[in-house]
Structure 1
Amino acid sequence: MKLSQKLTKEQTDPFFEEWRAKAAIISDLHKQRDKQAKDEMEAGILLYNKLLAHCLETGAIPGVKVLAPINGEERLAFVASQPGNFAAFRQLDELFAEMKKIIAAKRIHLKRFEQD
């Protein structure tokens, strides 16, 4: 499957919709100081990793790097090391938001590349 086909809204939106629902649950759990937030965060980390795996480039455009936020690996390592921490939740939420922006920008880039 070409990268442009992997990055369509139909292919990527389910990841973000699932995160939106999960983020609301995690936020409520943190407000209640419920320890179950850690379990939900671990599921969120898994979802983020699935999104990253889905978006990996397979060489469609020479010189274009893999889709990932700046310092994404370090930030994800922080989140994974402290999944019950509210700061980790905020960081994972930011990683999802940045991925959404990166994917949108990459769609535009690929559309221009394919038109040439």
Structure 2
Amino acid sequence: MRLKIGIIYGVLIWIITHLVFSVTHPIIDAYTVNSNLILVLFIIIVSGFFSILYIREINKNEVLEGLFGGILFAIIDIVLDLVFFVIPNNHNILISNYTTHILLISVMLITIPTFLGYLAQINIELK
């Protein structure tokens, strides 16, 4: 497990998705469902990108490494949400329904690297 690079990628995933959400949320403020959809799409794109970077250098046990990386990304997301939004009581649209938010984000952050690890393990021959 590449812990140091996993922590860096986890923090970058959190920062980029929250920056994108902060920029796009005022534009789509009237449509809460659409702004949450935009956040989900950016989390899929950003976590997919960093998951590929995380798994790219691994040559064995890609699925297990992807699972460990996804769990690490989810833990980092929860800790940073707690530190910056929940404990200081900063009101944010994401924190208004925090249980749903954390479940959705955790499932995505765990399944995306695991699935990409599975895909990295497959040998495909195109004819």
Task: Give the TM interval when normalised to the shorter protein.
Answer: 0.3 to 0.5
**Structure with bigger RCO (C-alpha 8 Å, 6+ apart):** 2
TM-score, length of structure 2 as denominator length: 0.36
TM-score, length of structure 1 as denominator length: 0.39
